[in-house]
Amino acid sequence: MIIYSYHLVTSPERQADLQAALAALAADLASRPGVTSTTVLHRVDDPLTYRFEECWDSAEAHDASMDAALKALLKQVMAGVVEPVTTTRFQSAAQVG
């Protein structure tokens, strides 16, 4: 299992757009082969800071999912952020070693 975690920061003017884009992205990913879950979170002490997580069966499934529709959704997400997005990739501890 591979989890991709994205840290996103928006502005008050773009917050509604980012929330809508993240919801659309989560819905799209839920129908893709290899996706086991998605989660959208925002910081309790800073509601303009979000974390989006995607859990995949494998990195290969993630890489194979990139198509024009997904790229369009990612473009919408990026339009809602005001700082560079940071990405962290996690692996199931059972697979480490």
pLDDT at site 94:
73
Burial call 74-87: b when 16+ CB within 10 Å, e when fewer: eeebeebbeeeeee
Alpha-helical regions (H) of the chain: 15-30, 59-64, 68-79
pTM of the model: 0.90
What is the assigned CATH class of domain 2-95?
A: alpha beta
- Mean pLDDT of all residues in 80-84: 97
At which residue do the structure tokens 């509604």 appear?
A: 16
Quick one: pLDDT at residue 97?
55
In the predicted structure, residue 38 carries a pLDDT above the cut 80: yes
Residue closest to 58 by CA, chosen among 8, 6, 4: 4
Q: What is the pLDDT of residues 22-34, one digit of tens each?
A: 999 999 999 999 9
pLDDT recorded at residue 14: 97
**Residue 76: pLDDT over 60:** yes
Range scoring the smallest mean pLDDT among 43-47, 57-61, 72-76, 90-94: 90-94
d(C-alpha 51, C-alpha 74), whole Å: 14
Q: How far is residue 79 from each of residues 16, 21, 52, 74, 83, measured CA to CA in Å?
A: 11, 9, 15, 9, 11
